[in-house]
């Protein structure tokens, strides 16, 4: 998988995760006491970042070869590039 394909896959993953933000915020706010969450937006931010990193890593691991450290670093760097947009979706 080349870098352009990898970035497209990551963008799709991030877009899918970002689409879940409103429902996660509502659910967490409704269950704040059960979940013991002080800041629901920070909690959702952690969930979205975990989804983006986890799903992107999982997809990359389905390739024939085990992902190299360089490939894993590229995934992280691509996802980190989108942090401002992810944070804007959650905190604004």
Half-sphere exposure for 11 (CA within 13 Å, toward CB):
6
| pLDDT above 70 for 1 | no
* Tokens 């509502």, located at residue: 26
Angular region, 36: left φ>0, alpha ψ -120 to 50, beta rest: left
Token couple for 43: 């909690």
| pLDDT at position 64 over 80 | no
Q: Is 6 helix (H, G, I), strand (E, B) or coil?
A: helix
**Can you say how many angstroms the Cα of residue 40 is from the centroid of all Cα atoms in its chain?**
16
Average pLDDT over the chain reads 88
Tens digit of pLDDT for each residue in 2-29?
Answer: 778 878 888 888 898 899 999 999 999 9
């Amino acid at each position: 998988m080349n870098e352009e394909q990898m970035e497209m896959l990551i963008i799709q993953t991030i877009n899918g995760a970002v689409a879940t933000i409103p429902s996660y915020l509502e659910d967490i706010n409704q269950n704040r006491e059960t979940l013991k969450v002080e800041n629901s937006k920070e909690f959702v931010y952690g969930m979205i970042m975990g989804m983006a990193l986890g799903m992107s890593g999982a997809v990359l691991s389905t390739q024939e070869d085990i992902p190299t450290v360089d490939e894993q670093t590229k995934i992280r760097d691509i996802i980190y590039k989108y942090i401002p947009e992810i944070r804007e979706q959650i905190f604004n």
